[in-house]
Chains A and B, each alone.
Chain A
């Protein structure tokens, strides 16, 4: 018996309306416990962002969806609109990738931070008071004045702090972070990450951290899911993943990251990701895999427990990468 999870995605399959050959998500299952930080890592187009958005009940237009996404036991995909809005205001909040695009440029910062609260019926004065405290806690100077300012008066890093404040406003139990630092300068990335993790720890909020950057995920997360072509291919604790990646794709990702301490040059993963227009018969990674066996292209490997971790690879037992 597992304890009931904060977030439990089960068998989530999402098919786009405009006839793509394969589903964007193909039987994705994923769990985040209370207060846990879980990474979701993959290349662009792997479906990690779609998975993240699905937790808020945000699906691509006209998509065909099966499976369930339960937040604290309630399936957000089956909730009536009013209840779904309630979940979005109180339970789950998202820190989006590009704060410049995600915050309405013509409305004031105070408007953005308090929007969810006010939609939930909190009076303006109380909402602004809460927003001021939140802005202070994310390190915005003169928070009271900042409430009256417009987004274009802030730098990208500062705006991402505003976004974090906005996400925390409703007191969510689960934070979704969709590549929260990708749009930022390298120098501000670390600050934003530290603010995010500090507040998350202080509030005991669970977090699903979506990124393409394995190292960043390792720095933030307790556990990591690796996605490839709409499927989870591996799930391990962060330490285990770095010590012994079990899936050739994970190993490839690790080898592709340049490292200062190593003398070896980084090696890229050869080939290119599977596009939505192609639907390979067997393992989606087989075409790029150094270890591909004849059976790999024929049979789709399920995600299965191997030595205490979950891997979707036919040869998981034989291959231990390090």
Chain B
């Protein structure tokens, strides 16, 4: 009896607390990843299949989310859009995390003028809005995903780099790291074996949030016509296409991918905050 009651109370607490939200966010992310991976098998139509006679058709059994101005199936385009939507941020986060970690640890470990130089450089990049950097690079190298991804990868370095540097500077002065140094371990060994595990969760939290933000930024660039180029489907580009149809009363081609972006970014935000909270609790 009491055991059941106890378990129920724990479940209730879990539902009310952050845990349920965390779980939900993780499930949402898993679904998006699965959809992106299985796109060719689950998409009901060819995402680029034109059918001008069916243009701007509303939701129907055949087209659950209707069709766009060229008669392409919105749902199928969204499913394929998840691929570009995730791939871009993935590259951005991977590159910026690795670069940021290297820059941060180098700055913290070397100190002195190296630290000053790297920190100033990160301040400078931080002072430039990533979106502007991307737009300039697009101007130079032409539209397509390459320039925006490169720009965002650079723009996100300071977020990770500053975090890693600050934590590493703090950790490096801790007695346990000092004692390893005194015992004659090499700097890299200490970094890899002792600093990294301490910094990793924080970086993970930051990266999860960066994933969401860069998804937003890249979608914005596609919306401006600078990112993913037609006929490839992308959520941001779909909104751009769908915007003109809005005034004709067809809202799904623009709203559906918009909702997808918001859901994905919210989910990444929740996961990132969850990890950050857990880190904070561990520290406390």
Q: Do A and B come into direct contact in the complex, CB within 8 Å? A: no
Q: Which A residues fall within an 8 A CB radius of B?
A: none
